[in-house]
Amino acid sequence: MKILIVDDEPHLRMLIQQTLEDLEDEGVELLTATNGEEALETIRAEEPNLVFLDVMMPKKNGFDVCDAVKNQLGLTNVHIILLTAKGQEFDRQRGQEVGADLYMTKPFDPDALLAKAREVLGL
Amino acid sequence: MASLQLKTIAGPKGQARPALAALIAAMGDGVSGIEDAAGQYLHGGPVESASRIAVSLDGGTIGWVSGTEAGAGAMAGMLTFLAAKEAERRALGAEVLHLYREVHLIEQLSEQLSALLELSSVGSSALAQARRLIAGGHGAIFVTEGDGLRAIAEFGDRIDADAPLLGAVLRRGVAEIVNDVETDTRGLVDGLRAVICVPLRAKQVVGVMVLANSTSDEAYSAADLKLLNTIALQTASAIENSILCAEMVGAVRDREQLASIQKELDTARTIQLSLIPRVFPPFPDRKDFELHAQMTAARSVGGDFFDFFLIDSEHLGVVIGDVSGKGIPAALYMAVARTQIKTTALTGVTPEECLREVNRGLMREKASSLYSTCFYGILNTRTLEFRYCNAGHNPPLVVRAQGLEHLNSEGGLPLGLFDGLPYTGAMVQLVPGDSVFLFTDGVSEANNLALDDFTDERLEAVVQSLAHLPCEELVRRVTEDVLAFVDGAPQSDDITMVSLRVLG
């Protein structure tokens, strides 16, 4: 099983990676991408089970990546959780249109993030 | 923390990291295989007589590199180096995550606390959050109450509010860690080994927060102290807000009670005012005398009253009085006194007989320390004799063409003081044009802002200067003069006056 972490901010990638580290022992592979285009390539190649996808990113933003995965590539079984910064207006409707499964706010609760990953992967 | 595996550095089976793959290719036969700790080949495979060199991390082995002695040695050395770097990065990451978790929880706590107003909810939220961040089998939050401390939230074994350590932290306002409670003479509770205690400081120290462990291997660190202090800071202002809020709610409740009492007083006042004559002229058919009265009521319920009635076609009764005290008791007393006076007076008795009888009646049913002054006079409208009895009231004035006279008489003491008192009457002969001016001490003792009295002298001068006016105008002008003197100072007593003129 694979989880892809997409965020342009290195410290957030590291935090999420660290949060999910325990899952590695249970056979989960953690992948990272630093922007939308790289994310899309990785998703196409690896077909991860779960993607934590930052919304505000340069080049391709999270909505666009999600839209491409769910609607254009038709990879509907890739579970996508959008990450939005707290205080930032989140366009729920746009999130629904692009087929996101859930959205979480940053700063995130590490315990909740890990629990969600376990739930999605059925661990 | 999860253990670091070689595949994390080298890449999973058959998928060596591109840089590594390039390096292995460049080394030719130098590297023939890379195995993980379980002996599974991530790269290459077994080769006869190859050297096998361990990749180590923290004194343990996480895999092997096989190949020529030089090649495998160099690769194993590099992977060992990378593993150490990766382990270091992970340790740092774990630390950052820990800090991140702290920040997150503290932020969550601030958010929770700002929405909580009830003291015990503030306490339990703060304590729950502290537990998530700092190890503790027991804990409590105390707030100062009087000279002591009161627990508003706690878990685990009960921590004694009187423990000297808590008092010391509270007094000095400085946090303390005690990791050897047994040797610390200010010990808290049997069985506790490590204790961390911080003051709850907002504008002032409002209490203390304590966490404790039962085992000595769970000692507290300076980092724990710093963290608990951060939580305590947030908690303290929430506690202070909560206390302030409770006080405000209390004040509002008091004010509401006060308002409802004021409403009752207003009702009492309205009832009281409805008991005194309000229709003027009271006897429009009578052309042989004129009569007017006015009462300017104080905001609070006062005890002034007046009354007049025809006992028969030739006898007019006039009453003025002032009940001691204020408020509803005075109003009730006034109602009783007034009714008794009128009822007795209408039997046709003399003023002194009337007041003696009323005094007896009031003493019989005496239920309070209240009493009432009273002046009762009867005008014989045919002979113009004015018989009266004065039970401790301000002596009325007789205004004659030639000047003022006081109706001085030792009638008796106020009604309702002592049983069986003697009351004596007196008589003054009026002539057409004379008038009698009755008033209460609210007139002569009306205060201005400098707390000067209006005084009897001033009243007499005003009454004399206005004596030629009809009763209604006289009363109105005197009232105006008193109110002009008072000049907006709060009126503490009713201002009451009655003017009676015989016209012949």
CA distance B449 to B484: 11
The CATH H-level (homologous superfamily) assignment of domain B116-246 is GAF domain (3.30.450.40)
Which tens digit of pLDDT belongs to each residue from B385-433? 999 999 999 999 999 988 899 987 778 999 999 988 899 999 999 999 9
Judge whether B344 and B357 are in contact, CB under 8 Å. yes
Q: What is the CATH number of domain B276-502?
A: 3.60.40.10
Residue B94, pLDDT > 70, answer yes
Total residues found in chain B within this entry: 504
pLDDT tens per residue, range B261-306: 888 878 877 877 788 888 889 999 999 999 999 998 876 667 899 9
Check residue B215 and give its pLDDT: 67
How many whole angstroms from its chain centre is CA B91?
53
Taking residue A102's Cβ as centre, other Cβ atoms within 10 Å add up to 11
B65-88 core/surface letters (b: 16 or more CB in 10 A; e: else): bbbbeebbebbbeebbebbeeebe
Among chain B residues, the shortest Cα distance to A25 is held by B2
pTM: 0.51
Give start-end residues of each CATH 3.60.40.10 domain in chain B.
Answer: 276-502
Q: Do B2 and A18 touch (CB under 8 A)?
A: no
Whether B107 sits inside 8 A of A107 (CB atoms) is: yes
Quick check: bond before B281 cis, omega within 30?
A: yes
pLDDT at B382: 95
Tell me whether residues A15 and B100 touch, CB distance under 8 A. Answer: yes
CB B395 within 8 A of CB B410: no
Residues of B in contact with A11 (CB under 8 A): 96
Contact check, Cβ <8 Å, B96/A15: yes
Q: What does the alpha-carbon distance between residue B436 and residue B76 come to, in Å, rounded to a whole number?
A: 127
Given a contact cutoff of 8 angstroms between Cβ atoms, the answer to whether B482 and B279 are in contact is no
Predicted confidence band at B190 (pLDDT cuts at 50, 70, 90)? Answer: low
HEC readout, B413-432: CCECCCCCCCCCCEEEECCC
B17 three-state secondary structure: coil
pLDDT category of residue B148 using cuts at 50, 70 and 90: confident
Report, as an integer, the average pLDDT of B222-242: 89
Region for residue B327 given its phi and psi (left: phi exceeds 0; alpha: psi -120 to 50; beta: otherwise) = left
Q: Give the span between the Cα atoms of A84 and A65, in whole angstroms.
A: 14
The band of B493, judged by pLDDT with boundaries at 50, 70 and 90, is confident
Please state, in angstroms and rounded to a whole number, the distance separating the CA atoms of residues B453 and B449: 10
**A residues 3-62 lying closer than 8 A (beta carbon) to B:** 11, 14-15, 17-19, 21-22, 24-25, 29
- The pLDDT of residue B188 is above 60: no
Task: Work out the pLDDT band at A36, boundaries 50, 70, 90.
Answer: very high
Question: What's the whole-number mean pLDDT along residues B8-20?
Answer: 79
Return the residue of B nearest to A31 by Cα. Answer: B8
Percent of chain B residues topping a pLDDT of 70: 96
Q: Residue B135: left if φ>0, alpha if ψ -120 to 50, beta else—which one?
A: beta
Checking if the pLDDT of B364 tops 90, the result is no
Does the pLDDT value for residue B102 go beyond 70?
yes
Provide ipTM, 2 decimals. Answer: 0.76
Residue B204's CB is within 10 A of a number of other CB atoms, namely: 11
Collect all residues of chain B within an 8 Å Cβ-Cβ radius of residue A111. Answer: 101
* Min Cα–Cα distance to chain A from B4, Å: 9
Q: With a CB-CB cutoff of 8 Å, which residues 69-98 of chain B face chain A?
A: 90, 93-94, 96-97
Give the integer Cα–Cα distance in Å for B182 and B189.
10
Domain with CATH 3.30.450.40 in chain B: 116-246
- Please check the confidence at residue B1 and state whether its pLDDT lies above 60: no
Q: Does the pLDDT of residue B184 top 80, yes or no?
A: no
What's B248's DSSP letter?
H
| pLDDT computed for residue B191 by the predictor | 65
B182 three-class SS: coil
pLDDT at B89: 86
pLDDT in tens, B114-133: 788 788 889 999 999 888 88
Looking at residue B216, what is its pLDDT?
Answer: 58
Q: Which among B298, B440, B321, B421 is positioned nearest to B371, based on CA atoms?
A: B321
pLDDT tens-digit series, residues A62-108: 999 999 999 999 998 999 999 988 767 777 888 888 999 998 888 88
Interface test with A, best of B104, B105, B108 (most A CBs within 10 A): B104
Q: How far is A71 from chain B (nearest CA, A)?
A: 30
- CB nearest to B100's CB, from A17, A21, A110: A110
What's the residue count for chain A?
123
The chain-wide mean pLDDT, for chain B, equals 88
Chain B residues within 8 A of A114 when measuring between CB atoms: none
